[in-house]
């Protein structure tokens, strides 16, 4: 359903030789590697863990890239917010993210360690993302939206400035930088040739055009969310809200539970 290469096939027929077509398609079939790029530990669990769990079941190798150190996610009533306290928060959140990843069956979590709450879509962040794209060579990338949705009403927490920054930086890293040998020439010297991402799944985008049926993996998503103990607190309060939100997304597509995306193919 979401693994729909029909448009891709059509374009290959139009412009390539049969051999080229075979090489490209088989390369895509072989490289069942996906990457989720996010700002904070737990962003992926909220936005796409059901999809991630499904892809893992289908044989995909999934990697997480967490751009910040998560140090801004300590208790709201904290009074000690010094460096040592921040370090402890970072350690806790990284541990929770790894535990959530294990529940979903992902391959690894890569932390870029930018300061939480201060993320900007800089050239340094773009370069770091191009580096991981070229190193792990994912066919699919999930990332947050670079834009807010204002209707019917702004979801303030969804559009944390770090999320928007990751959206901008990820899109710029995917196209054109990752696939352009002339972008960040220093990466070629690191032994990282260009890599073209085939499919992009954007979470929280202003225009949704795609849904993944997560009815079979919703329990795994909830279990992975529960692993973020320092963030979700009393999960009995949050769990019904997540179920309701996932069911609302599913209802729009004739599914019990779904995660919605804007999906684009990079042809
Ligand atoms: Zn976040």
Angle between helices 43-57 and 83-104 (to 10 degrees): 30
CA of 170 to the centre of ligand 1 (A): 15
DSSP 161-182: HHHHHHHHHHHHHHTTGGG-TT
Cα separation, 246 vs 262, in Å, equals 16
CA of 158 to the centre of ligand 1 (A): 7
Instruction: Report how many domains make up the chain.
Output: 1
Return the closest-CA partner of residue 215 out of 240, 185, 250, 182. 250
CA of 218 to the centre of ligand 1 (A): 20
Overall average pLDDT of the 218-235 stretch: 95
CA of 19 to the centre of ligand 1 (A): 44
For residue 54 the two structure tokens come to 């499904």
Residue 235 has pLDDT above 70, yes or no: yes
Is residue 201 in a domain?
yes
pLDDT confidence of residue 218: 98
pLDDT confidence of residue 12: 38
Confidence of residue 27 (pLDDT cuts 50, 70, 90): low
A 10 A CB-CB count for 9 gives 12
CA of 72 to the centre of ligand 1 (A): 10
CA of 40 to the centre of ligand 1 (A): 5
Is residue 11 in a domain?
no
Is residue 157 in a domain?
yes
CA of 47 to the centre of ligand 1 (A): 10
Is residue 12 in a domain?
no
Q: Residues near 195 by Cβ (< 8 Å), separated by ≥ 6?
A: 133, 134, 137, 178, 179
pLDDT tens-digit readout, 116-152: 999 999 999 999 999 999 999 999 999 999 999 999 9
CA of 224 to the centre of ligand 1 (A): 15
Confidence of residue 11 (pLDDT cuts 50, 70, 90): very low
Average pLDDT, the chain: 91
Is residue 130 in a domain?
yes
CA of 259 to the centre of ligand 1 (A): 17
Distance in Å from the first CA to the final CA of the chain: 19
Q: CATH no. for residue 252?
A: 3.40.50.10320
Tell me which residue range forms the domain holding 134. 32-265
Is residue 10 in a domain?
no
Is residue 162 in a domain?
yes
CA of 29 to the centre of ligand 1 (A): 32
The model carries a pTM of 0.88
Residue 22 has pLDDT above 70, yes or no: no
pLDDT tens-digit readout, 66-117: 999 999 988 888 898 899 999 999 999 999 999 999 999 999 999 999 999 9
Residue 5 has pLDDT above 70, yes or no: no
CA of 41 to the centre of ligand 1 (A): 7
CA of 193 to the centre of ligand 1 (A): 31
Is residue 19 in a domain?
no
CA of 220 to the centre of ligand 1 (A): 20
CA of 234 to the centre of ligand 1 (A): 18
């Amino acid at each position: 359903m979401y693994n729909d290469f029909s448009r891709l096939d059509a374009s290959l027929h139009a412009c390539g030789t049969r051999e080229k077509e075979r090489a490209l398609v088989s390369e895509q079939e072989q490289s069942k590697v996906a990457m989720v790029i996010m700002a904070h530990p737990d962003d992926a669990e909220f936005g796409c863990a059901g999809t991630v769990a499904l892809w893992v079941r289908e044989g995909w190798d999934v990697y997480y890239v967490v751009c910040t150190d998560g140090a801004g996610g300590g208790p709201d009533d904290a009074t000690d917010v010094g460096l040592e306290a921040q370090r402890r928060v970072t350690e806790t959140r990284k541990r929770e993210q790894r535990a959530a990843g294990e529940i979903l069956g992902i391959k690894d979590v890569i932390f870029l360690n930018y300061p939480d709450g201060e993320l900007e879509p800089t050239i340094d962040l773009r370069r770091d993302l191009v580096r991981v794209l070229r190193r792990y060579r994912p066919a699919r990338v999930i990332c947050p939206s670079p834009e807010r949705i204002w209707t019917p009403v702004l979801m303030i927490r969804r559009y944390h400035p770090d999320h928007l920054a990751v959206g901008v930086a990820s899109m710029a890293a995917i196209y054109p930088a990752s696939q352009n040998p002339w972008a960040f020439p220093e990466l070629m010297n690191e032994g990282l040739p260009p890599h073209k991402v085939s499919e992009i799944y954007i979470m929280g985008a202003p225009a949704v055009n795609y849904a993944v049926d997560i009815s079979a993996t919703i329990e795994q998503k909830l279990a992975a969310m529960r692993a973020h103990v320092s963030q979700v607190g009393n999960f009995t309060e949050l769990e019904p809200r997540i179920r309701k939100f996932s069911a609302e997304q599913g209802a729009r597509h004739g599914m019990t539970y779904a995660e919605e995306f804007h999906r684009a193919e990079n042809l």
